[in-house]
Amino acid sequence: MPAEEKMKLIIYFIFFLLISLSLKAQKLTIYTYDSFISEWGPGPIIEKKFEENFNTEIEFIAVDSSATLLNKILLEGSATKADIVLGLDMNLFYEADKSNLFTIHSIDNLENKISIPIKWNSKKFIPYNYGYFAFVYNNKLFKNPPKSMNELINYTKARIVIQDPRTSTPGLGLLTWMKAIYGEDAYKEWEKLNKKIISVTKGWTDSYYNFFMGGEADIVLSYSTSPAAHIMFENNYDISAAIFEEGNYISIEFAGILKKSKNKKLANEFLNFMITNDFQSIIPSTNIMYPVTNIDNLPEAFNKLEIPKVLYLDPKIINAQKDDWIEEWLNAS
């Protein structure tokens, strides 16, 4: 073969190689918590929809809670493999924001695209669902549920199970909930509440299914939306959430893009996808939380839930005092 023909073949080969590489699906790596990607969680459906629409591959890497999620990112620093972190909540907002690991997203007019109970100001993070921490009970077995945190602590006889604030999102939520209500007097209230707590589990699943659903606890720390899952999947109306007179602490989960991501355009596409109906319509029946947009097909079970008064603390205050509050809780045990 003449040298000129060989050169043409080499050029054609390189050309087609470049074309095939450009058409090859990009890979988006997303760190999240394990229940999000469980077989009953939103992850598998969202993964399928996004991959089909954007010719990409999603790799979910999961840990057991949002608290662990942030710790993983902080430990990995700029060496992290993640393009996106999905699943942090407001109690970790300030620490994540000031970590210098996240970049500004490209979504304009976000405030006109979402509907949540508090004002959202972040340019780095996009919320994708929200709910309220609540104490959940069986209304057939527990006839006089508390109507306030004060009543729970001082007048309710019950076996209570909660989660550890160092390893669990609801556990940390209870810590901030107590502070939002009692402030500097929280220690005294913890001393009384701890006498009714039969176990502190590492995560939500153990406390909810093994202790509460297993009959070992009368009341479990969970979410105000938990009863909706029992209604939707079991036609079971026996599970209720206590809505407190003082208010229930809000939990907003969000996602952000890492500065070191090499797929920022695609990562921004995913964040934008999070606030579309394709994503939001999946949340209520899989993550058992409220969507952040006004979807048309909110499951009927959610319409049966009472909406609590919102309690909320400044994330900056939480970040500055969280360790002291954990120490206070431990000392009150």
Chain-centroid distance of CA 289 in Å reads: 9
- Residue ranges and CATH numbers for the domains of the chain are 3-130+252-299 (3.40.190.10), 131-250+303-332 (3.40.190.10)
User: How far is Cα 163 from Cα 247, in angstroms, rounded to an integer?
Assistant: 20
pLDDT digits (tens, 9 = 90+) for 117-157: 999 989 999 999 999 999 999 999 999 999 999 999 999 99
Pairwise pLDDT comparison (9 vs 29), residue with the higher score: 29
When the pLDDT of each residue in the chain is averaged and rounded to a whole number, the result is 93
CB 145 within 8 A of CB 137: yes
Q: What pLDDT score was predicted for residue 66?
A: 84
Indicate whether 71 pLDDT > 60: yes
What is the CB neighbour count within 10 angstroms for residue 51? 14
User: How far is Cα 41 from Cα 107, in angstroms, rounded to an integer?
Assistant: 26
The pairing of strands 239-242 and 56-63 is: unpaired
Q: What pLDDT score was predicted for residue 12?
A: 46
Indicate whether 21 pLDDT > 60: no
Chain-centroid distance of CA 302 in Å reads: 18
CB 26 within 8 A of CB 263: yes
pLDDT digits (tens, 9 = 90+) for 250-307: 999 999 999 999 999 999 999 999 999 999 999 999 999 999 999 988 999 999 999 9
Radius of gyration, CA atoms only, the chain:
23
DSSP letters, 266-314, are HHHHHHHHHTSHHHHTTHHHHT-SEESS--S---HHHHTSPPPPEE---
Q: CA torsion sign, 104 to 109 to 115 to 116? A: positive
pLDDT digits (tens, 9 = 90+) for 92-114: 999 999 999 999 999 999 999 99
Indicate whether 86 pLDDT > 90: yes
Of the chain, the percentage scoring pLDDT greater than 90 comes to 89
Indicate whether 172 pLDDT > 90: yes
Mean per-residue pLDDT, 29-58: 96
Instruction: Specify the DSSP element, H or E, that contains 134.
Output: strand 125-138
User: How many CA atoms within 13 Å lie on the side-chain side of 228?
Assistant: 23
Q: What pLDDT score was predicted for residue 171?
A: 96
Q: pLDDT band for 5, please (50, 70, 90 cuts).
A: low
pLDDT digits (tens, 9 = 90+) for 216-266: 999 999 999 999 999 999 999 999 999 999 999 999 999 999 999 999 999
Q: pLDDT band for 17, please (50, 70, 90 cuts).
A: very low
User: How far is Cα 276 from Cα 236, in angstroms, rounded to an integer?
Assistant: 30
* List of long-range contacts for 193-199, beta carbons under 8 Å, 24+ apart: 193/152, 193/153, 193/160, 194/332, 194/333, 196/156, 196/157, 196/158, 196/159, 196/160, 197/160, 197/161, 197/162, 198/159, 198/160, 198/161, 199/161
